[in-house]
Structure 1
């Protein structure tokens, strides 16, 4: 691998890691960490392709990685949310105008409760009966 090729791959790898670091935490699913899954996938993908010698295969892998990086960036930075904003009619349907905001409030409340439960030590009874495994 030439020096320019190595620096290109290293730059691409670091770009992936920067985008993944920015990935939001899903408080409703604390046991499913998308950031960790993405990180493992990137590390494994780059590790598997360390020995590529064929220039055509290398170029196709770089092109594919750039496409995936662009897609991750668009998701992480909410590009489509800003590019295609939802109208107020979506947030406030005529049949139930407070539904969306009530749903968001309920989700936020559930996320906050999960965080509080996670930070509290288990009660005596939960420890005794194995409720905190």
Structure 2
């Protein structure tokens, strides 16, 4: 029985690893790589009191699925006004734009961005 549950948890983790999005800001450190290494070592989750290792693995897989499917974003919706603060209405749009541009910026572009952040004109 425990071998079957362990196999089910391993199958869930393999499915998660293929569906999890890549981190373009830090390509050298991916969550998929860490989870795959932990799965190879057999340490998918630490075992809390009262749970078997198989149950702990399944709970961790469920938690990762909930993050992957944005369950909390969908369950706890924020009002649109929260994303447009009165002091800087375009703050979050600018932040998303910056995060999308950052991985494709050249070293000269990064240097220019850093220098422009140091110098502010009033």
Settle same-fold status: TM greater than 0.5.
yes
Please report how far the alpha carbon of residue 16 of structure 1 lies from its aligned counterpart in structure 2 after TM superposition: 1.2
Runs of 5+ unmatched residues, structure 1 = 48-58, 118-133
2:33 corresponds in structure 1 to 36
Please report how far the alpha carbon of residue 89 of structure 1 lies from its aligned counterpart in structure 2 after TM superposition: 2.1
Please report how far the alpha carbon of residue 8 of structure 1 lies from its aligned counterpart in structure 2 after TM superposition: 2.6
Matched, 1:82 2:82: no
2:110 corresponds in structure 1 to none
Question: Partners of 1:20 and 1:7 in 2: how far apart?
Answer: 20
TM-score (norm 2): 0.72
Please report how far the alpha carbon of residue 46 of structure 1 lies from its aligned counterpart in structure 2 after TM superposition: 5.6
Equivalent residues, number: 101
Mean CA deviation greater in 4-13 or 80-89 = 4-13
**Residue 13 of structure 2 contacts residue 61 of structure 2 at CA under 8 Å; is this kept in 1?**
yes
Runs of 5+ unmatched residues, structure 2 = 45-50, 107-122
1:72 corresponds in structure 2 to 64
Q: Deviations over 1:52-103 (max 9, x none)?
A: xxxxxxx611111111111111112211111112221221001110111011
CA RMSD between the two structures: 2.2
TM-score (norm 1): 0.67
Please report how far the alpha carbon of residue 110 of structure 1 lies from its aligned counterpart in structure 2 after TM superposition: 1.1
1:20 corresponds in structure 2 to 17
Point out which structure has higher relative CO (alpha carbons under 8 A, 6+ apart): 1
Greater Rg over alpha carbons, structure: 1
Change (3 A) 1:7 1:101: same
